[in-house]
């Protein structure tokens, strides 16, 4: 297992000077400037490659005995050139080993991935369909049930030599249907893991790595909170692991209550991000996940329970289709009035989301648009349905001035 984004791998230091950790073991990735793809030639930004250097990767590949197959994952679709390059390096080293590309890029852009990478298989199905792939690769039948797998299998952290923090999922998917999101499309069913099992997993890996930070990266951790997150919080409190807990993925403000806030405080949560996104009409038309009053209520409950403005942040999205600049400014003002911080998210349309189809049918997006043009830092330079690049910068400046 080679993770090119593990900043805490001790072997990295043989190739680059490690960048120091910032708060909670976070920090910058090693990066270097690369030539822009032609499509981005007119975008006045630098283009960089992030993650471990090539020499590190090649030396790691040399350490591996010839495997039966290589599995490469991918995340944000607009980073596909990095994925394609990574696959090229693997193919140079192990040309006759079957290579499977999975992850978000493969899932959302299977045809693009087929055309633009040297992967032998693009796994674009649901996880429940993995049996077919295993059969064609290894001529073996496996009975794969996503729910059972999620309940009993731990993330394989033991494959790492060192990590800076531990990230867990206690659930898969989300029962909400926000128009800009594909979580419900990626996971057809919302699944939660037994809190006792989650606790055992956390305990196991804390013993193995002794890290100080534990992150929950669920899309919807507060759904069914009385039977899921609250029992987990009580377990964490009773165990006294003496670590910081973090919720960086935006929790549902409407589901925050006083008991939950008190439990999170007692457990030692240091990062709580609330999904707010915007004010105005878009709150309703994008799915009604959160309204101003939900955000205000949640902010007051959390502040009353002792969380500081550094610990509680609201995500505000900029550049949503048809969003008004006033919606963004008002959202920032509401957060400031409530004594919580703001974290800006730059919108990008995702294939398969409801927004995507609306943009296509209104002629505001072309289905053939290359994902690199949908990079959230690139899109304000050409996206007609959003806020232009200068205004985006102006909003960022307002936040920095605080
Ligand atoms: S944005 Fe959040 S609440 Fe909305 S569908 Fe996606 S994961 Fe669920």
For the CA of 287, the nearest atom of ligand 1: 4
Task: Assess whether 97 and 194 both reside in one domain.
Answer: no
Average pLDDT over residues 310-322: 95
Angle between helical axes of 54-63 and 80-93 (0-180°, round to 10): 40
CATH number, domain of 42, equals 3.40.50
Each residue's pLDDT tens digit, 268-303: 999 999 999 999 999 999 999 999 999 999 999 999
Can you tell me the distance from the alpha carbon of 290 to that of 114, in angstroms, rounded to the nearest whole number? 38
Residue 66 dihedral angles phi and psi, to the nearest 5°: -55, 115
Task: Assess whether 59 and 181 both reside in one domain.
Answer: no
Average pLDDT over residues 62-78: 95
Please choose, from the candidates 321, 320, 349, the residue with its C-alpha nearest in 3D space to the C-alpha of residue 181: 349
What is the reported pLDDT for 401? 74
Query: Which tokens go with 235?
Result: 């377990």
Q: What is the dihedral sign for C-alpha 277, 278, 284, 289?
A: positive
The tally of domains found in the chain comes to: 2
Task: Assess whether 107 and 165 both reside in one domain.
Answer: no
In a domain, 267, yes or no: yes
Give yes or no for a contact between 261 and 302, defined as CB atoms under 8 angstroms apart.
yes
In terms of phi and psi (left: phi > 0; alpha: psi -120 to 50; beta: otherwise), the region of 50 is beta
Task: Assess whether 163 and 130 both reside in one domain.
Answer: no
For residue 306, report the distance from its CA to the centre of ligand 1, in Å: 27
Nearest CA to ligand 1 atom 7: 219
For residue 184, report the distance from its CA to the centre of ligand 1, in Å: 8
Q: Which domain holds residue 103?
A: 10-138
For residue 68, report the distance from its CA to the centre of ligand 1, in Å: 37
What is the reported pLDDT for 143? 84
Average pLDDT over residues 119-138: 93
Give yes or no for a contact between 15 and 57, defined as CB atoms under 8 angstroms apart.
no
For residue 349, report the distance from its CA to the centre of ligand 1, in Å: 14
Q: Where residue 402 falls among pLDDT bands split at 50, 70, 90?
A: low
- Which residues form the pocket of ligand 1, taking CB atoms under 6 Å from any ligand atom? 174, 176-178, 181, 183-184, 219-220, 275, 289
DSSP 58-99: HHHHHHS---S-EEE---SGGGHHHHHHHHHHHHHH-TTS-E
Task: Assess whether 183 and 66 both reside in one domain.
Answer: no
* Mean predicted lDDT score pLDDT of the chain: 95
Can you tell me the distance from the alpha carbon of 168 to that of 153, in angstroms, rounded to the nearest whole number? 12
For residue 287, report the distance from its CA to the centre of ligand 1, in Å: 9
CATH number, domain of 218, equals 3.20.20.70
Can you tell me the distance from the alpha carbon of 393 to that of 396, in angstroms, rounded to the nearest whole number? 5
C-alpha distance from residue 216 to each of 63, 169, 185, 198, 258 (Å): 32, 6, 21, 11, 20
What is the distance, to the nearest Å, from the Cα of residue 384 to the centroid of all Cα atoms in its chain? 26
Each residue's pLDDT tens digit, 196-228: 999 999 999 999 999 999 999 999 999 999 999
Q: Is the pLDDT of residue 27 over 80?
A: yes
In a domain, 58, yes or no: yes
Task: Assess whether 170 and 78 both reside in one domain.
Answer: no
In DSSP terms, which residues pair with 166 in a beta bridge? 214
Nearest CA to ligand 1 atom 4: 178
- Residue showing tokens 């120091």: 20
For the CA of 180, the nearest atom of ligand 1: 1
Task: Assess whether 74 and 178 both reside in one domain.
Answer: no
- Residue showing tokens 């010839």: 66
Q: Which of 84, 103, 138 is the last residue of a domain?
A: 138
For the CA of 175, the nearest atom of ligand 1: 8
Nearest CA to ligand 1 atom 2: 219
For residue 275, report the distance from its CA to the centre of ligand 1, in Å: 9
| CA angle 332–335–337, rounded 5-degree value | 110
For residue 182, report the distance from its CA to the centre of ligand 1, in Å: 8
In DSSP terms, which residues pair with 121 in a beta bridge? 100
What's the predicted TM-score (pTM) here?
Answer: 0.95
Task: Assess whether 315 and 346 both reside in one domain.
Answer: yes
SS3 319: coil
Please choose, from the candidates 125, 101, 249, 121, the residue with its C-alpha nearest in 3D space to the C-alpha of residue 185: 125
Task: Assess whether 286 and 337 both reside in one domain.
Answer: yes
Please choose, from the candidates 341, 251, 326, the residue with its C-alpha nearest in 3D space to the C-alpha of residue 294: 251
Give yes or no for a contact between 359 and 349, defined as CB atoms under 8 angstroms apart.
yes
Task: Assess whether 231 and 284 both reside in one domain.
Answer: yes
Can you tell me the distance from the alpha carbon of 272 to that of 314, in angstroms, rounded to the nearest whole number? 8
- Residue showing tokens 């993650």: 51
For the CA of 250, the nearest atom of ligand 1: 2
Lowest average pLDDT, out of 44-48, 314-318, 397-401, goes to 397-401
What is the reported pLDDT for 188? 86
C-alpha distance from residue 145 to each of 16, 130, 149, 184, 310 (Å): 42, 10, 6, 18, 41
H or E element that contains 115: helix 110-116
């Amino acid at each position: 297992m080679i993770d090119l984004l593990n900043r805490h791998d001790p072997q990295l230091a043989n190739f680059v000077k490690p960048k120091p950790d910032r708060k909670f073991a976070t920090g910058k990735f090693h990066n270097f400037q690369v030539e822009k793809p032609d499509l981005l030639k007119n975008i006045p930004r630098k283009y960089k490659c992030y993650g471990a250097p090539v020499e590190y990767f090649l030396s790691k590949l040399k350490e591996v005995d010839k495997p039966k197959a290589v599995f490469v994952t991918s995340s944000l679709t607009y980073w596909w050139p990095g994925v394609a390059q990574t696959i090229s390096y693997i193919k140079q080293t192990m040309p006759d080993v079957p290579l499977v590309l999975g992850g978000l890029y493969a899932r959302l852009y299977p045809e693009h991935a087929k055309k633009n990478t040297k992967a032998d298989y693009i796994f674009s199905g649901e996880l429940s369909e993995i049996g077919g792939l295993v059969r064609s690769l290894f001529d073996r039948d496996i009975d794969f049930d996503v729910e059972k797998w999620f309940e009993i299998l731990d993330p394989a952290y033991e494959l790492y030599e060192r990590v800076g923090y531990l990230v867990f999922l206690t659930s898969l998917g989300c029962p909400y249907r926000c128009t800009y999101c594909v979580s419900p499309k990626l996971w057809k069913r919302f699944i939660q893991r037994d809190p006792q099992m989650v606790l055992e997993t956390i305990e196991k890996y804390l013993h193995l790595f002794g890290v100080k930070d534990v992150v929950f990266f669920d899309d919807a951790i507060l759904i069914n909170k009385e039977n899921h997150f609250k029992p987990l919080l009580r377990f964490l409190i009773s165990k006294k692991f003496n670590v910081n807990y973090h919720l960086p993925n935006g929790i549902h403000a409407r589901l925050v209550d006083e008991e939950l806030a008190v439990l999170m405080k007692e457990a030692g949560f240091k990062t709580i991000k609330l999904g707010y996104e915007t004010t105005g009409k878009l709150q309703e038309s994008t799915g009604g996940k959160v309204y101003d009053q939900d955000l205000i209520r949640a902010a007051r409950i959390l502040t009353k329970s002792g969380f500081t403005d550094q610990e509680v942040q609201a995500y505000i999205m900029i550049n949503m289709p048809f969003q008004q600049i006033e919606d963004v400014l008002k959202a920032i003002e509401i957060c400031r009035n409530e004594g919580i911080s703001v974290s800006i998210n730059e919108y990008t349309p995702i294939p398969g989301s409801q927004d995507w189809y609306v943009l296509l049918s209104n002629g505001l997006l072309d289905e053939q648009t290359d994902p690199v043009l949908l990079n959230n830092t690139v899109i304000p330079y050409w996206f007609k349905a959003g806020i232009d690049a200068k205004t985006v910068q102006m909003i960022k400046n307002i936040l920095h001035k605080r």
